[in-house]
Amino acid sequence: AQSVTQLGSHVSVSEGALVLLRCNYSSSVPPYLFWYVQYPNQGLQLLLKYTTGATLVKGINGFEAEFKKSETSFHLTKPSAHMSDAAEYFCAVSENTGNQFYFGTGTSLTVIP
């Protein structure tokens, strides 16, 4: 069975500071891992995904995440936060069939001017 834990339901960073959103997963099979972003009153949008190959994946808007199997982690980072990054971020895991997803509870990112 798969599950996702997102540490920190709320994260605040200053504009220009490093963004780090944490995600740990459990999976009995090689996982597919995803980060989604949700802006207010909108649906979820795919930021990036890891399936196979390179463990450091780059996504949209300057975000990237690294799959670390030994730590069962897939943390999301961005070197310099922008005001427009303020949103809810969801980590998700699925089996390597890529079918049913299991979402974390989300992390709300606030960017302070």
Partner 1 sequence: DAGVIQSPRHEVTEMGQEVTLRCKPISGHNSLFWYRQTMMRGLELLIYFNNNVPIDDSGMPEDRFSAKMPNASFSTLKIQPSEPRDSAVYFCASSYVGVSGYTFGSGTRLTVV
Which residues sit at the interface with partner 1, rule CB under 8 A? Answer: 32, 34, 36, 42-46, 49, 51, 90, 97-101, 103, 105-106
Give the span between the Cα atoms of 26 and 28, in whole angstroms. 7
- Rounded least distance, CB 44 to partner 1, Å: 4
- Rounded least distance, CB 1 to partner 1, Å: 13
Give the span between the Cα atoms of 15 and 11, in whole angstroms. 13
If we measure between CA atoms, which residue out of 3, 48, 20 comes closest to residue 109? 20
- Rounded least distance, CB 77 to partner 1, Å: 19
